[in-house]
Amino acid sequence: MAGRAHAPPGQRKRISRAPLAKLQAYRQRLGWSFKWFSSFGTSFNADFGVTFKPEELAGNRATYNYGSLERPSGEMPGVSTFYKGADGEVFHAYSSYGRGIDILNTAYNYLDLVPKGRDEQGLPSPMAWVRRHDEYDPR
């Protein structure tokens, strides 16, 4: 019998712009165990085009998803992946934005199969329907 191939463990980490204490409290509240880091006070999110600089907001135009965005809000969704080489050098491997990250929200995959789909018309924002497990009315 041939040996089983072994894949190296994934080094999944999350980075968000909020202060670390706030991220850790949220992670604990939801019962998550992954590593989560803060980019608060750095240009990391702006460097990857998901947090906009004051001058972009003032000018009502920013670069997002490899194009021009009019009337940007302070932040937009995005996912980037990185590779760390054997010598420790880190490489930007991939980024996706907007509708390109829908696959990460499993609920969208199911909603896209039903007749009315996401039914987002009239909502204040496309994901206004999202609730965390502890935000539902406990009827």
**Among 81-85, 98-102, 135-139, the least confident range:** 135-139
Dist. CA 78–CA 15, nearest whole Å: 11
Is residue 75 a part of any domain in this protein? no
Is residue 34 a part of any domain in this protein? yes
**If you count DSSP H runs as helices and E runs as strands, how many of each does the chain have, helices first?**
4, 6
Is residue 114 a part of any domain in this protein? no
Q: Give the confidence band of 103 by pLDDT, cuts at 50, 70, 90.
A: confident
pLDDT tens sequence across 65-90: 988 888 888 889 999 988 889 999 99
Is residue 76 a part of any domain in this protein? no
Dist. CA 31–CA 34, nearest whole Å: 10
Is residue 119 a part of any domain in this protein? no
Q: Which two tokens stand for residue 112?
A: 């896209």
Number of domains in the chain: 1
Predicted TM-score (pTM) of the model is 0.72
**Among 14-18, 27-31, 57-61, 105-109, the least confident range:** 105-109
Is residue 111 a part of any domain in this protein? no
Is residue 139 a part of any domain in this protein? no
pLDDT tens sequence across 23-43: 999 999 999 988 899 999 999
Q: Which domain holds residue 29?
A: 13-42
Is the pLDDT confidence value at 19 over 60? Answer: yes
